[in-house]
């Protein structure tokens, strides 16, 4: 197997020797925010190529999509090259900073990585949960309402910036 990343060549082993050493292999990680869409597209094309008939490989990928969908950890932009991700945060936008500022910074990073409104809502709920853990349930509720109403504009800006970052990371 020949991965695009040298560190994968050392860590991922084909125990049954089904993949020739010179064959290029592409790995999609569960943290990749585009993984589910890419795999769904593969399922659609593989099904079409197979005359609409399901195969075990197609069924396996569908099962894996469900596992990725249920994975509770934060989704990130594709991790293709060893390029450091630049994140921009102004702390708690339009809200006073407090001991909850790290929650706001994480929320800003989340906004750069989300690709749909469901992910945006999850990020907003994670912000609220983080501030509650800091001991400020009332502040958390006010922040949640604020990001649900006003966060839409930041999300659209981050979405555009995230798309540019994804393109740069894959070059």
How confident is the model over 100-128, as a mean pLDDT?
85
Find out whether 139 and 119 touch, Cβ atoms under 8 Å: no
How confident is the model over 103-127, as a mean pLDDT?
84
The residues spanned by each domain of the chain are: 2-70, 101-170
Q: Kindly tell me if the per-residue pLDDT of 33 is higher than 90.
A: no
What is the distance between the alpha carbons of residues 136 and 95, in angstroms, rounded to a whole number? 14
What is the distance between the alpha carbons of residues 67 and 141, in angstroms, rounded to a whole number? 31
Radius of gyration of the chain, Cα coordinates, nearest whole angstrom: 20
Among 58-67, 94-103, 114-123, top mean pLDDT goes to 58-67
Find out whether 155 and 120 touch, Cβ atoms under 8 Å: yes
Whole-model pTM above 0.85? no
Bridge partners, 24 (sequence order): 2
How confident is the model over 50-70, as a mean pLDDT?
90
């Amino acid at each position: 197997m020949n991965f695009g990343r040298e560190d994968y060549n050392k860590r991922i082993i084909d125990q049954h020797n089904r993949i020739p050493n010179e064959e290029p292999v592409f790995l999609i990680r569960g943290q990749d925010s585009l993984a589910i869409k890419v795999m769904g597209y593969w399922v659609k094309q593989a099904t079409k190529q197979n005359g609409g008939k399901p195969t075990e490989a197609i069924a396996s990928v569908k099962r894996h999509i469900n596992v990725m969908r249920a994975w509770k950890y934060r989704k990130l932009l594709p991790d293709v090259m060893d390029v450091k991700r630049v994140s921009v945060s102004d702390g708690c936008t339009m809200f006073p900073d407090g001991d909850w500022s790290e929650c706001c910074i994480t929320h800003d990073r989340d906004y750069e990585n989300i690709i749909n409104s469901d992910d945006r809502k999850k990020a907003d709920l994670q912000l609220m949960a983080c501030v509650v853990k800091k001991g400020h349930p009332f502040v958390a509720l006010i922040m949640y309402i604020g990001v649900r109403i006003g966060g839409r504009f930041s999300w659209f800006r981050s979405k555009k910036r995230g798309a540019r970052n994804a393109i740069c990371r894959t070059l």
